[in-house]
Structure 1
Amino acid sequence: MNTQRRLFAALAVAGLTLLTACGGGGSDSGSSTPMNAGTLSLSLTDAPSCGYDHVNVTIQKIRINQSSTASDTDAGWTDLTLAPAKRVDLLTLSNGVLASLGQIPLQAGHYSQLRLVLAANDTTNPLQNSVVPTGGAEVALTTPSAIQTGIKLNADITIAANQLADFVLDFDACKSVVSAGASGKYQLKPVVAVTPNYISGVSGYVDASVANGNTLVSVQQGGVVVKATAPDSTGKFLLQPVAPGSYDLVVTAPGRANEVVTGLTVTASTVTTLNAAAAPLVLSASLNGTAAGTVSTGTTPIDANVRALQTLSNGDKVEILSRTVDTTTGAYSYALPVGGTMVAAYVAPLGSLSFSADIAATAKYGLEASSAGVVKTAGPLTLSAGATTTTNFTFP
């Protein structure tokens, strides 16, 4: 357990988390601890954002229920209330940093639903939820009406009597903040995963020349990002918590060729050290091609996400970039490297990595658009330097 995690645990145990408990559809049930209770501890973390210097959200409470289908007025809710509400800059919560949200006693059992309740922007506090675009001024985030009843999060949490269940709300600011076109407005459409607070993870270094806030390091399985972060100013990255297993580690940066380490092994209760500061991952310079288009019903833009993926010669798929389309126009535009995608097989912690260009993946991308649970694909597309390849997606 690292020093930072010990500090968070100590603060939680010392009771410095200012919470109250209530239940039965939100009505006050007093502060007594349930019989055969365990304890749920919650923290907040974030994946790196894209094009923003700050993303602020203000959390009022987190609601917990055993039923995945319970409405906000049904019985069985227990609330972890933050008093006062906690305003958090999500972009400070990457590279292994966690913010404690508190602990709450719960009856032993299985819990399938959490609701994240945000404070609303109002005339008194117009920037409780806000964003600062890179190079721009702070503007309010338009928040969904669901903030009044809580943004529904699927969970898989088992509480055992007299034991602590430690979980993390992993907020993806990049996918959660959506541009509303030329209006200059931004909408918050939260994408949050509820994951166990594993001690295990991955650490390493990228070259300092790309340690500029725009580089993304992620671990993935089957083209799905499990955890992502931006290296700090020294090039160091820490991906934690990450469940034990085998992963592809993917490094992307503007104007650089993609880099992938395949078969990286994460073991229980261990942070796997990929490489040392003296042997950082060095990404080659690359020209870009552009994948662009719109997502619509044919006549009307719709809410959607578009991913760009590559398929390696060993058959592994890796996500290179994922964004939510413009809510006003349905447009997306991705600058993607056309230089050789560099791939190395993982050997051992601090082992020597041997990278070579993967011809099967170089300059070739598949696109995947998703909306309301429906997924459409295109490609593989072969991009050319300085050219734009247009792909439009139409949903029924």
Structure 2
Amino acid sequence: MKNLFLIGGSMSLLLMTSCNSSDENSGSNATVNVRLTDGPAAYTAVNIDIQKIEINTNGGWTTLNFPKPGVYNLLNFKNGTDVILGQAELPEGKVSQMRMVLGSNNSIVVNGTTYPLQTPSALQSGLKFNWNQTLSANGAYTVWIDFDAGRSVVAMGNNSYILKPVIRAFSELTNGQIKGYVLPQAAKASVHAIMASDTIATAIPNPDGFFMLSGLPQGNYTVSYDAAGNTGYVDESTNNVSVTFGKVSDLGTKTLHQ
């Protein structure tokens, strides 16, 4: 009887130790949610076949829990609109890179006609891009993959197009934002965030004039409102726009004049 008690006590201690160890391991993880957003492009659709996403930590590559691999029209996700791709549980510590694996079902729609979007074979083995972040235990993070459709598609002539992805990643901790409206719609304006002499981000406003520029580094910007050349409207700009992480700089409404 005494021996049974000792055995039972040892098993209980073992179970408690195992549970505590499991709790400690799970408590050292961080949750990362990955979302897809887009820079603008002057096409009807840019369809990208996303098959897998991986995140690189000190322990190697971790595959994102990605429930809906397949074709995503990048132009559906602009001016602050995004879509969640999936989630990963990662150990605390530094994250350095992400990797996106593409399938072969990529296409572009120009003036209502669909053309294949040629994809270099290297992209189907994984396109790497930087995401530098230090994850804390029990932390929850959101990271956006900004797939710049406009700069990622190269027109080769004769209705031939090649995909050369331009991608950046940013989190809520490194997400400076500028929003506003530009009118009238007839101006067909594009909006640019310029730091010093570099254009950091571009937006093509929604039909109601709304635009949002995201993933901007902190600093002072000139926001340029560029009307299409054949509309007769005059370009304008707003200077000394301050961008701070965690805050949206609201520029209100800018009305262009002829």
* TM-score, with length taken from structure 2: 0.81
Give yes or no for contact 2:187–2:228 (8 Å, CA) kept in 1: no
- Aligned twin of 1:65: 56
Q: Distance in 2 between matches of 1:218 and 1:47?
A: 11
- Aligned twin of 1:86: 70
1:282 lines up with 2:256 in the alignment: yes
Q: Distance in 1 between matches of 2:257 and 2:164?
A: 33
- Aligned twin of 2:166: 191
Counterpart mapping for 1:87-236 below 5 A: 87-120=71-104, 128-133=105-110, 135-182=111-158, 184-197=159-172, 200-210=176-186, 212=188, 215-236=189-210
Alignment-mate amino acid for residue 137 of structure 2: A
**Could you say if the C-alpha distance between residues 211 and 254 of structure 1 is closer, same or farther in structure 2, counting changes exceeding 3 Å?**
closer
- Aligned twin of 2:235: 258
- RMSD, aligned α-carbons: 2.2
- Which whole-Å deviations, capped at 9, do the CAs of 1:148-172 have from their partners, x for residues lacking one? 3211112212211100122111111
Alignment-mate amino acid for residue 91 of structure 1: L
Alignment-mate amino acid for residue 189 of structure 1: K
SS in 2 for 1:45: strand
1:271 lines up with 2:248 in the alignment: yes
- Counterpart among 37, 45, 61 of residue 45 in structure 1: 37
Alignment-mate amino acid for residue 250 of structure 1: S
Q: Distance in 2 between matches of 1:211 and 1:92?
A: 22
SS in 2 for 1:174: helix
> Is the helix fraction higher in 1 or 2?
2
Q: Distance in 1 between matches of 2:186 and 2:133?
A: 38
Greater relative contact order (Cα 8 A, min sep 6): structure 1 or 2?
2
The structure 1 segments of at least 4 consecutive aligned residues displaced by more than 6 Å after TM superposition are none
- Which whole-Å deviations, capped at 9, do the CAs of 1:237-288 have from their partners, x for residues lacking one? 2223444431111122321443221211134433222124xxx33054xxxx
Q: Distance in 2 between matches of 1:223 and 1:266?
A: 16
Alignment-mate amino acid for residue 243 of structure 2: V
- Aligned twin of 1:36: 28
Unaligned 5+ runs, structure 1: 1-32, 68-74, 121-127, 285-396
SS in 2 for 1:77: strand
**Could you say if the C-alpha distance between residues 283 and 267 of structure 1 is closer, same or farther in structure 2, counting changes exceeding 3 Å?**
farther
Q: Distance in 2 between matches of 1:39 and 1:60?
A: 21
Q: Distance in 1 between matches of 2:257 and 2:165?
A: 32
Q: Distance in 1 between matches of 2:175 and 2:133?
A: 17
Count of residues paired in the alignment:
230
- Structure with the greater alpha carbon radius of gyration: 2
Q: Distance in 1 between matches of 2:116 and 2:134?
A: 37
Give yes or no for contact 2:48–2:74 (8 Å, CA) kept in 1: yes
Give yes or no for contact 2:67–2:86 (8 Å, CA) kept in 1: no
* TM-score, with length taken from structure 1: 0.54
Give yes or no for contact 2:27–2:138 (8 Å, CA) kept in 1: no
Give yes or no for contact 2:185–2:207 (8 Å, CA) kept in 1: no
Give yes or no for contact 2:191–2:223 (8 Å, CA) kept in 1: yes
Give yes or no for contact 1:111–1:156 (8 Å, CA) kept in 2: yes
Give yes or no for contact 1:85–1:119 (8 Å, CA) kept in 2: no
Q: Distance in 1 between matches of 2:204 and 2:40?
A: 6
Q: Distance in 1 between matches of 2:244 and 2:121?
A: 41
Q: Distance in 1 between matches of 2:186 and 2:94?
A: 44
Counterpart mapping for 1:311-322 below 5 A: none
Q: Percent identity?
A: 34
Unaligned 5+ runs, structure 2: 1-24
> Is the strand fraction higher in 1 or 2?
2
1:34 CA displacement: 5.5
